[in-house]
Amino acid sequence: MAFSPYNDYWREIRKLCVVHLFNRVQQYRPIQEDEVGRLIGKIFKLSVDSKPVNLSEVMMCFSSTIICRVSFGKRSNRSHCDMGHDLFDEISKVFKENSSGSEGFDWEKGFVNEDDVQGLTYLKAVIKETFRLQPAAPLLVPLETLGKCNIGGYNVPAKTLVFVNSWAIGKNLETWENPEVFSPERFFGCSIDYEGLHNELVPFGAGRRICPGMRMGVATVELALANLFYNFDWEMPIGMNKEDLDFEAIPGITAHKKNALTLIAKKNISD
Ligand code: HEM
């Protein structure tokens, strides 16, 4: 769909997907919550073994499994990424055993669910700020003009390939104060949102080709991050400093980290 020109095929497939897939975010809630549980379980196991967590790998596995379950109703065929899931039952057991005493870990209360997330305004601002500074698709998806038009005094012929530099838009000095600084607070009392109504922030594009998976994507990111923060304290491996964190990306339509982010998760079982 993303690479189809604007034609009857695109209209049909987009309508189908919006009705049967994208408008059903609430229906996918159990899948998302189940996968977050598995993600936390996987990280818990690594933290118990004092092993570092390759967040790039576990998050890639997490998001592709959700998309697979939502689209096909089941996980993909077994891959190395699925192996961790076998641990899930075992880890659930460990959690449950630890929650037997009144001071133990309470599996039910160990999760932040989608309702809780709605009240997490700072987390939402952190995610918005991340979309501004590090948009997942820095040049969106190439678009094509339907007819000739004039943009900022330039005549643009029909059928011109257009790249929208969402990455640069998020750093525009005319819109953003100190654009290079990561400051989620900038969104408090600011009406700019990423839902396609504000040209100042377009991580999901805008207009008729806007990302139809936006709500699903945001809900997944919010739920996963809230639970990663709620369940663990995160530390850098010994010998690694803040300055060693890098944001280099591999070239491509979507920005994937060049070097994996590997951190140590610390779980306090009695918290
Ligand atoms: C944080 C998560 C996501 C981000 C940042 C994102 C970003 C984008 C962007 C920038 C575009 C191009 C928009 C344009 O050209 O104006 C796009 C298109 C698209 N996205 Fe997403 N997306 C996300 C999640 C998802 C998810 C979860 C799905 C599906 C399950 C999805 C499916 C699509 C499709 C099918 C298109 C093409 C739409 C069309 O051409 O009509 N996206 N996305």
Q: What is the pLDDT, as a whole number, of residue 25?
A: 83
| CB of 13 sitting under 6 A from ligand 1 | no
Position 2 scores a pLDDT of 93
pLDDT, tens digit, 9 for 90 and up, residues 32-90: 999 999 999 999 999 998 899 999 999 999 999 998 998 888 776 555 555 445 445 55
Task: Give the pLDDT confidence score for residue 73 in this predicted structure.
Answer: 80
Q: What's CA 129's distance to the chain center, in Å?
A: 13
Q: Which of 9, 32, 202, 204 to mutate to test the pocket of ligand 1 (most atoms within 8 A of CB)?
A: 204
Per-residue model confidence (pLDDT) at position 21: 85
The CATH superfamily of 8-266 is: Cytochrome P450 (1.10.630.10)
Residue 2 Cβ < 6 Å to ligand 1: yes
CA nearest ligand 1 atom 37, residue: 2
211 known ligand binder: yes
pLDDT of amino acid 97? 54
Residue that is written with structure tokens 């192996």 in the block? 83
Residue stretches of the chain with pLDDT short of 50:
83-84, 86-87, 91, 98-107
Question: Is 24 close to ligand 1, i.e. is its CB under 6 Å away?
Answer: no
- The neighbouring-strand residues paired with 151 are 154
Q: Which residues of 205-242 are buried (b: 16+ CB within 10 A; e: fewer)?
A: bbeebebbbbbbbbbbbbbbbbbbebbbeeeeeeeeee
Picking from 173, 194, 185, the residue whose alpha carbon sits closest to that of residue 131 is 194
SS3 content of the chain, % helix, strand, coil (to 5): 45, 10, 45
Phi-psi domain of 39 (left: phi exceeds 0; alpha: psi -120 through 50; beta: other): alpha
